[in-house]
Amino acid sequence: MGALADNPLRLVYKALWTLLEAQSQFTTEVKSGNRIKYTGTDRHPEKDGELQPAGYPEVRVVMKKCVPHLQRTSNGSSFGIIWGIEVRSGDQRFQDLLDVEWAIYLAMENWVTTLQDGLTWNSENFVRRCRPLQVDVAMTDEHKNKGWRDVWLGETDLWFATADITAA
């Protein structure tokens, strides 16, 4: 079986970032230092205190909910994940937020290639669905910077042969 680096949940998280960063409009709008990733060596990757304008827009990808189904069918098990792509604009004007939202929307179009066809575990493609569900938008004053914050909720459905799960 694969090492922890090949953990399907880790693979999906990394692929979501790959999906976003493959979209040139996303990388233009969100600077590399403003993409908060929870996979590096920094145990606390979030920025502390009040951010300067160059610290926005800021994007992070987080797990919101997991729905494991062991032995969902006679020979298959599934693992559903609700993801959040969180955007903070740091600006009360809409233009930055709308530009990032559009870039995320464009990036999501390539989910089949990046996730469904591009990821394997135990020599099998395991992502069956990845889709945005809704975007919640609100004004916030986090870090003492008023601006828009939105959360793209989306889901991925992962399917595995139950025999592979019990053998892992």
First CA to last CA distance, the chain? 6
Name residue, tokens 């390539």: 110
pTM for the complete prediction? Answer: 0.89
Tell me which CATH homologous superfamily contains domain 4-34+54-167.
Phage minor tail protein U (3.30.70.1700)
Strand pairing partners for 6? none
Cβ 130 vs Cβ 139: under 8 Å: no
Higher-confidence residue of 72 and 42: namely 72
- pLDDT attached to residue 140: 82
Which pLDDT score, from 0 to 100, does residue 2 have?
44
Report how far Cα 75 is from the mean position of its chain's Cα atoms: 29
Q: Quick: pLDDT tens for 60-96.
A: 999 999 999 999 999 999 999 999 999 998 888 888 8
Name, in order, each residue with C-beta under 8 angstroms of 5's C-beta and a sequence gap of 6 or more.
Answer: none
Say if residues 90 and 133 touch (Cβ distance below 8 Å): no
pLDDT digits (tens, 9 = 90+) for 138-164: 888 766 678 888 899 999 999 999 998
- Map out the domains of the chain as residue ranges: 4-34+54-167
Interaxial angle between packed helices 8-21 and 95-108, expressed in degrees from 0 to 180 and rounded to the nearest 10? 120
Task: Quote the mean pLDDT of the chain.
Answer: 89
